[in-house]
Structure 1
């Protein structure tokens, strides 16, 4: 029977150098904001009388959006500091090394953070525009 390899003694933390969890963190935060804010509005509108104002769910979505954008900004800071991500869309990353891999992860993570923050702002807009359920 072949022997299984030993797990590394110093495994990376969830969002640390060499980990790709930073790639899915910001879109996951956007998805959670989307689900929670629309769920809160749907439950509120189902329980409220006809044509109820959307003030309470609006402020919950805005507060949650500000919190989520702050967490995404922290993730963007990690992408820049730990991974060397830059906000240059047409930059070629051709290095075939550990540093090139980290730079690519940082670049993609930074772009995903920007995209997720914009998506959160677009999630908040209907609550600001619509006045009633």
Structure 2
């Protein structure tokens, strides 16, 4: 009996990012990765179509707007990590207790740190678009 999985009725299935789900750990870095790809695709397509020496004024604002949207989504994930999982922004916190609540706090802590790291990565992805003036 110990090796069998509990069958959950369809109405009680957990949401994608819910208590006990590890998807919240993957969400923020995935948002950064999507922003990274979209930013460089926009710049590459812009420069390929219009040629070398073309000003990057228009794609600059597209990349910055995308960055703002992605950071807003990451802030929402950070709020979820704090509210639902009890994540705190304490770097040297030891979680040695082996209980379900301690595991949830650990997931919240890691998710919150990944949100901060992903938001910083998005800012560093936007910087080249703001600094470079032309293709």
Query: Paired residue for 1:31, among 33, 37, 42?
Result: 33
Separation in 2 of the partners of 1:8 and 1:95? 28
Within a 5 Å distance, the mapping from 1:5-24 to structure 2 comes to 5=5, 7-9=7-9, 10-24=12-26
CA distance in 2, matches of 1:77, 1:5: 32
Shift in Å, 1:5: 4.3
Matches for 1:1-133 after TM superposition, within 5 Å: 5=5, 7-9=7-9, 10-133=12-135
Structure 1 residues not aligned, in runs of 5+: none
Aligned-partner SS, 2:85:
coil
Aligned-residue RMSD, C-alpha: 1.1
Instruction: State TM-score, norm by structure 1.
Output: 0.94
In the alignment, the residues of structure 2 paired with residue 47 and residue 59 of structure 1 have an alpha-carbon distance, to the nearest angstrom, of 18
SS in 2 for 1:13: coil
Query: What is the rounded CA distance, in whole Å, between the counterparts of 1:107 and 1:50 in structure 2?
Result: 45
Query: Runs in 1 of length 4+ with deviation above 4 angstroms?
Result: none
3-state secondary structure, aligned to 1:82: helix
Instruction: Structure 2 unaligned segments of length 5 or more: list them.
Output: none
Offset of 1:8 from its aligned partner? Answer: 1.6
Could you give the per-residue CA deviations for residues 48-99 of structure 1, whole angstroms, max 9, x where no partner exists?
1330000111111100000000000000000000000000000001110110
